[in-house]
Amino acid sequence: MLLAARRLCLLSCLAVLCWSGCTTLDKNHESPKIDVVGITKAASDTSAMQFTIQLRIVNPNAETIDLHGLYYELSLEGIEVVTGTAKDLPPIEGYSARIVSVSSAASLLSSARLLQKLINQPQEMLDYKLRAKLGTTSKWMPSTTVVETGEISLQ
């Protein structure tokens, strides 16, 4: 009987500690924001459609984000045109932003589909969607996916 009471007391204490530990987690944590601020043709000797994309990553939280890696997809008019990865990125201090340059390559077939769509249905604005997965070294936030959408003018 005494052993059962001790076990119950131990389990109750453990439950209270776990519960109180969870209450200390930041409830106001916001996902980082990512914007494409520039796209340039890569300075390579190949004829491949390689680009350097400048991404502005904004950290809206007090804690520094230590980036381990990044995977991103850029879609135009619902067609995934550019994908890429990067690793060993610089940390982003709390309440700050950093522009990160990443290499990427355009898909030839997807680009051809987009071109065909634009020839058949000329447009002045293109819908875009940037989906980026930020991998961090944090055990509490090992990765976060950010999706940004908008329009790009062809004028």
% of the chain surpassing 90 pLDDT: 42
10-61 tens-digit pLDDT: 656 565 555 554 544 556 778 889 888 888 887 765 656 788 889 999 999 9
Model pTM?
0.72
The whole-number pLDDT of residue 24 equals: 47
Domain that holds residue 85: 30-153
CB 129 within 8 A of CB 100: no
CB 144 within 8 A of CB 32: yes
The mean pLDDT value for 110-119 works out to 93
- Domain-located, residue 22: no
CB 92 within 8 A of CB 99: no
CATH number assigned to the domain comprising residue 49 = 2.60.40.10
- Domain-located, residue 115: yes
Total count of domains within the chain: 1
CB 86 within 8 A of CB 103: yes
- Domain-located, residue 128: yes
The whole-number pLDDT of residue 47 equals: 57
- Domain-located, residue 8: no
Strands, E, within the chain: which ranges? 33-41, 50-59, 67-76, 79-87, 96-106, 125-136, 143-153
Average pLDDT over all residues of the chain: 83
% of the chain surpassing 70 pLDDT: 77
- Domain-located, residue 148: yes
How many other CB atoms sit within 10 Å of the CB of residue 140? 9
